[in-house]
């Protein structure tokens, strides 16, 4: 048994009773191998803890050596943001189709975990973005994102007029439905559907992708992961900024969204043999006969 991990937290997709059976099966598997098992409190409130200790996410960050997340990519995004400050490595187990982040199938999770706990795994670091919204000289909101920070229109549906400044230098002004600022992890999410490039997750870059711009001259651009991206709302009747599609804040005319790489990275663990390109082929159906 590896001594790298002693306390392992199990976190299931919230309000999803169907994860009960695999999560408790995994808990028993770990207990039999003499690991300390902790179940996330919100998960236990849905499925029951079966006598295992419960903890909220901040407590998990303090005590866990590893967090195993059962759910889809959305659950992984949420847990990654909440645990990034604690540097707890994550393993994602998916009950459905394998995701970009949750890439271990529930059918083989016990065999896979056995290998990984014995020290046979691949590890990678993923960058996050941290954004703050400034209204005049006041910071009115801040949050981080693993996928993307998106400025876009709200319920009214009119175009937003924005100016973009990178590292203090004016880049452009544009009218569009919005702008996606994405990490390499997020390059296969909203940014991809808006016409952005796929970036390998090992890269330390940030990509800016316009959403339905009102000019053919607007194009995606990739910049250094150490850059500071500032988006100023010049004119908008109803604009919002979204973080991984899970949190949002309503913007006003004159607000500035200042985006930088977050200080910490998220550490993801994958089974030996995990291939990013193989995952892309499966998810995007590359290689199929035309």
Q: DSSP label at 274? A: -
Among 73, 103, 148, 244, the active-site one is: 73
The length of the chain in residues reads 290
Residue with tokens 């035309």: 290
CA 205 – CA 35 distance, rounded (Å): 38
Pairing, β 256-271 against β 229-235: antiparallel
Going by C-alpha positions, the residue among 190, 191, 201, 231 that lies closest to residue 127 is: 201
Pairing, β 160-166 against β 169-176: antiparallel
CA 137 – CA 202 distance, rounded (Å): 35
User: Is residue 110 within 8 Å of residue 29, measured between CB atoms?
Assistant: yes
30-37 contacts at long range (C-beta below 8 A, 24 or more positions apart)? 30/113, 33/1, 33/117, 34/1, 35/5, 35/6, 35/7, 35/8, 35/117, 36/6, 36/7, 36/8, 37/7, 37/8, 37/10
Catalytic: 244?
no
Helix orientation angle between 20-32 and 109-117, rounded to the nearest 10 degrees: 40
Backbone φ and ψ of 83, nearest 5°: -105, 0
Element (H, E) at 43: helix 41-47
Give the residue numbers marked as catalytic.
73
């Amino acid at each position: 048994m590896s001594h790298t991990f002693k306390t392992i937290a199990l976190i299931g997709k919230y309000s999803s009773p169907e994860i009960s059976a695999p999560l408790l099966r995994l808990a028993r598997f770990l207990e039999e191998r003499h690991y300390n098992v902790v179940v996330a409190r919100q998960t236990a409130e849905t499925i029951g803890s079966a006598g295992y200790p419960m903890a909220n996410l901040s407590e998990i960050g303090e005590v866990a050596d590893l967090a195993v997340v059962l759910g889809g990519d959305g659950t992984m995004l949420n847990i990654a943001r909440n645990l990034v400050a604690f540097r707890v490595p994550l393993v994602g187990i998916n009950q459905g189709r394998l995701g970009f982040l949750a890439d271990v199938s529930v059918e083989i999770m016990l065999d896979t975990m056995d290998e990984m706990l014995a020290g046979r795994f691949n590890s990678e670091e993923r960058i996050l973005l941290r954004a703050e919204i400034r209204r005049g000289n006041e910071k009115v909101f801040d949050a981080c994102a693993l996928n993307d920070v998106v400025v876009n229109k709200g319920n009214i549906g009119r175009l937003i007029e924005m100016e973009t400044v990178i590292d203090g230098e004016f880049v452009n002004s544009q009218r569009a439905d919005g702008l996606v600022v994405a990490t390499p992890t997020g390059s296969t999410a909203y940014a991809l559907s808006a016409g952005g490039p796929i970036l390998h997750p090992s890269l330390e870059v940030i990509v800016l992708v316009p959403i339905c711009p009102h000019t053919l001259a607007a194009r995606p651009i990739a910049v250094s992961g150490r850059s500071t991206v500032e988006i100023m709302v010049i004119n908008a009747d109803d604009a919002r900024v979204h973080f991984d599609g899970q949190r949002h804040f309503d913007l006003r005319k004159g607000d500035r969204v200042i985006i930088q790489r977050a200080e910490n990275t998220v550490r993801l663990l994958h089974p030996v043999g995990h291939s990013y390109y193989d995952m892309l082929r499966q998810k995007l159906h590359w290689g199929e006969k035309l």
